[in-house]
Amino acid sequence: VIRAVIVDDEPHARAELESLLQEMGAFEIVGRCANAVEAVHAIRGARPDVVFLDIQMPAIDGFELLSMIDDDELPEIVFVTAHDEHALRAFEERAIDYLLKPIARERLAKTVERLQRRRGAWPAAASLPRSPIRRIPCLAGKAIKLVDLAEVELVRSSEAGVYVITARGELFTELTLRVLEERAGLLRCHKQYLVNIDQVDEIRPDDEAGATIRTRSGKEAPVSRRFLPRLRERLEI
């Protein structure tokens, strides 16, 4: 059985694809997402084998979504779109297949074949450089908020999850520290902290070999001995 997540902002499109996949008999649907934020959550939570991903979606499109997922957690991608203007880019993003809506059963059967042939070769192919992240999708209560990178001061990870800290407060995000460090240009200062170098106000050495960062709005983060030299280098001190 292939575990699949469907991402599409149109409910009927999701329903139709789900029906088709179930008719194929080879799939278990483990997630149905209407936007990129739900998709990050489902991919990280359910660890599907394949994601059927619509490209044109509100706020964060399919390509941007891919850059928000850790390479280790990235499943096979099948793009599903109404128009083929994105086909080339889709394959550059190492998609295994590219389906056009409305989807014909026969065409979907070929996708299934490809997926099954590929199963032995999993885990997925080596990572490729992705487009940088410019906005971080966060949860503010039930609402989804897209936080501009420039506003971010710190990112903190704890057992409860990853939190983006801005001058106005903390917001929960599904993105991992590693993804944010690699693709959002945030700097690691501690095992559990990233800092936005543009928001650093001062660095105060501690008794031990570490230091403490204070941001423009007065938030603090520890700097461990290990990351201090690199931080110094970036700040040119």
Partner 1 sequence: MKLAVQLVEALCVFVVIFYLYCRSPAFQPLRLDRPRGRVRLYLVFTGIAVLGNYLGVPVVGGQAIVNARAVGSVLAGLLGGPVLGFLVGATAGIHRVTALTGIAALAGAISTTVEGVLAGLVHFALKRRPERLMTPWVAAATTFVGEVVHMVIVLYLSGPQSGDIVRAIGPPMVVANPVGAALFMLVVLERQREQDRVAAASSARALEVAERTLRLLGRGIDQRTAGELAAIIKEKTGVAAVGVTDTEHILGWAGMGADHHLPGGAISSPYTRQSIAENAVVFADGRRQSYNCTVSPGCQLASMVIAPLQVDGAVVGTVQLFEPRHRRFLNMNKSLGEGLAALLSSQLVIARYQEQKSLLVMSELKLAQAQVNPHFLFNALNTIIAILRRDPGRARELLIHLSNFFRKNLKRASDVSTLGEELEHVRAYLEIEKARFEGRIEVRTEVDPGLLSLRMPAFTLQPLVENAFKHGFSSTLGEGHATIRAFRDGSAAVVVVEDDAGAWQEPQERAGLGMQIVDKRVKNLYGEGWGLSVECVPQELTRVTVRLPAEGAAA
Binding site for partner 1 (CB under 8 A): 9-13, 15-16, 19, 35, 37, 56, 58-59, 82-83, 100-103, 143-144
Task: Name the minimum Å distance from CB 10 to partner 1.
Answer: 5
Residue 94 near residue 77 (C-beta atoms within 8 A): yes
Nearest residue to 183 (alpha-carbon basis) of 230, 227, 137, 130: 130
Task: Name the minimum Å distance from CB 9 to partner 1.
Answer: 7
Task: Name the minimum Å distance from CB 83 to partner 1.
Answer: 4
Closest CB to partner 1 among residues 4, 36: 36
Cβ-based neighbours of 88, under 8 Å, separated by 6 or more: none
Closest CB to partner 1 among residues 35, 176: 35
Closest CB to partner 1 among residues 10, 71: 10
Residues linked to residue 172 through DSSP beta bridges, in sequence order = 139, 163
Distance CA 84, CA 106 (A): 18
Distance CA 94, CA 53 (A): 13
Task: Name the minimum Å distance from CB 58 to partner 1.
Answer: 5
Closest CB to partner 1 among residues 59, 125: 59
Map tokens 């278990």 to a residue: 28
Closest CB to partner 1 among residues 10, 170: 10
Task: Name the minimum Å distance from CB 86 to partner 1.
Answer: 11
Order the strands of the 135-140 sheet from edge to edge.
143-148, 135-140, 169-173, 161-166, 152-158, 193-195, 187-190
